[in-house]
């Protein structure tokens, strides 16, 4: 929905959008609910050191609310794993996975 509101692009009707154009548009989704959730997911535990205990607890609770649950593990080839890791790095998912592990340890 954010893409329709901000850019007028309906992905159900778009056939000629290239991957890197999509990533560029995604990175330009400032001040949308989607971007707020992505930013929350990308907060690293080490970035919370200047917050009070109550603020940390609130942020970690919010992170838990929007955590991406693991789906059943699929068997991927090495090439597919590398492509997934590359994409995850582009959109910040690897940082989120590391942050989730740290959050789990705090509970």
Per-residue pLDDT at 3: 83
Per-residue pLDDT at 87: 84
Per-residue pLDDT at 79: 92
Per-residue pLDDT at 54: 93
DSSP notation for the chain? -HHHHHH---TTT-----HHHHHHHHHT-TTSHHHHHHHHHH--GGGGTTS-HHHHHHHHHHHHHTPPPPPPP----HHHHHHHHHHHHHHTHHHHHHHHHHHHHH-
Domain boundaries, the chain: 31-106
pLDDT digits (tens, 9 = 90+) for 43-57: 888 888 889 999 999
pLDDT digits (tens, 9 = 90+) for 13-65: 888 888 888 888 888 887 788 888 888 888 888 888 889 999 999 999 998 89
Query: How confident is residue 91, by pLDDT bands cut at 50, 70 and 90?
Result: confident
Mean per-residue pLDDT over the chain, rounded: 81
pTM: 0.50
What Rg value do the Cα atoms of the chain yield, rounded?
A: 16
Q: What is the dihedral of CA 14, 16, 19, 25, to 10 degrees?
A: -60
Per-residue pLDDT at 98: 57
The answer to whether residue 103 scores a pLDDT higher than 80 is no
């Amino acid at each position: 929905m954010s893409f329709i509101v901000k850019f007028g692009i309906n992905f159900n009707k778009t056939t000629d959008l290239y991957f890197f154009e999509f990533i560029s548009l995604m990175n330009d989704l400032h001040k949308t609910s989607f971007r707020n959730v992505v930013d929350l997911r990308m907060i690293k535990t080490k970035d919370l050191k200047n917050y009070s205990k109550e603020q940390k607890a609130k942020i970690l609770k919010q992170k838990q609310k929007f955590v991406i649950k693991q789906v059943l593990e699929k068997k991927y080839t090495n090439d597919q794993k590398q492509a997934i890791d590359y994409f995850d790095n582009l959109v910040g998912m690897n940082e989120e996975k590391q942050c989730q592990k740290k959050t789990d340890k705090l509970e």
